Structure 1
Amino acid sequence: MGDTAGVAVSAVQSATGEIADLDALESACARHGADLVVDLTQSAGWLDVHAGRFAATVCGAYKWLLSPRGSAFLTVGPELAQRLRPLAANWFAGDDVWQSTYGLPLRLATHARRFDVSPAWHSWVGTEASLRYLHRIGTGHCTPTPPTWHAPSRRPRIWSRAPPRPGGAGAVSGA
């Protein structure tokens, strides 16, 4: 096991349309004991990606999922979920939302719901309609055209198991 705790990458680079080699990244992360976190914002809705194979995925729904800004999705694998601490937990992160609304202590769910935050209600109304529409028409025929301009590819962001840097900032590099 090396010093790399995880690699975060966009499945599709927004400036170029380049599709990341997720199989190669997944293999490299497995060899080094690192978690692979994949941003699906530029790909969910047209690129077939099985989110459950990664340590975590994130997705802003406003792109290819045709949703209003404010709705997003997170998947967290069981191993990573055990190591994460919910930082924005509130009543909506409870096992039974309506039993979590009042009184202390905050009773978080034992499953992934413990990472939920109170929803942006209006955004989710639009997101539900968009997802129903996409489910009805299917997405197999949706293939975006990459932009014609060229921008340098972004390298995956890597975070380190190394001790925090002075001033409390985490060790992050573009390597």
Structure 2
Amino acid sequence: MHTKTNQEFANLVYKERIRGNLFIATADGDRGHFHFGCWSTQCSHEPPRMLTCFPKEIEGYEIVRRGGVWTVSLVAEDQSDFHDEFFLQNKQDIRSIGEDQFIYRKTGCPILKNAIGYMECKLVSFIDNGDFGLAIGDIVSAEMLRPDMKNLTVNSILDRGFLNNNKEEIQMPFKGFDLN
């Protein structure tokens, strides 16, 4: 989700795509940032690479450029409350979410412990692209944590009225947080 959702002419068609809901984390040693996104995809088989979009309006845009690492956690259908609390209760850092909700692997970036699975990425290229930056990175580790679960989709979040029913209460994760 970003602040320009529903403001572009192509949205009538675009919003009908099935989009997985992803929890994106980045860190640079001093600062960290979380956001939910759906603009992330594999962009190479040899070597395995991901492309993940970072809105310029969030601190994560600068953190991923400095730190050069990020994680993509696939959010499960049973984590819709977690999604809602992130935006409505400002649970947007490790402390407020709970340290016990994360695991750490090769990059040191937080990974959702109860995600379906995750990919850790190391930055190899960063492209300035309009109001987003495109981070392209080698996948340095990936693991299925709960392969029996289905992905919480952006479509299901919109269908249940989350955006329309909570416009005034939604708190966007513009700022990151201290890691130390």
- Provide TM-score, normalisation by structure 1: 0.29
**Bigger strand fraction:** 2
* Larger Rg belongs to: 1
- Larger RCO, structure (CA 8 Å, separation 6 or more): 2
- Provide TM-score, normalisation by structure 2: 0.28
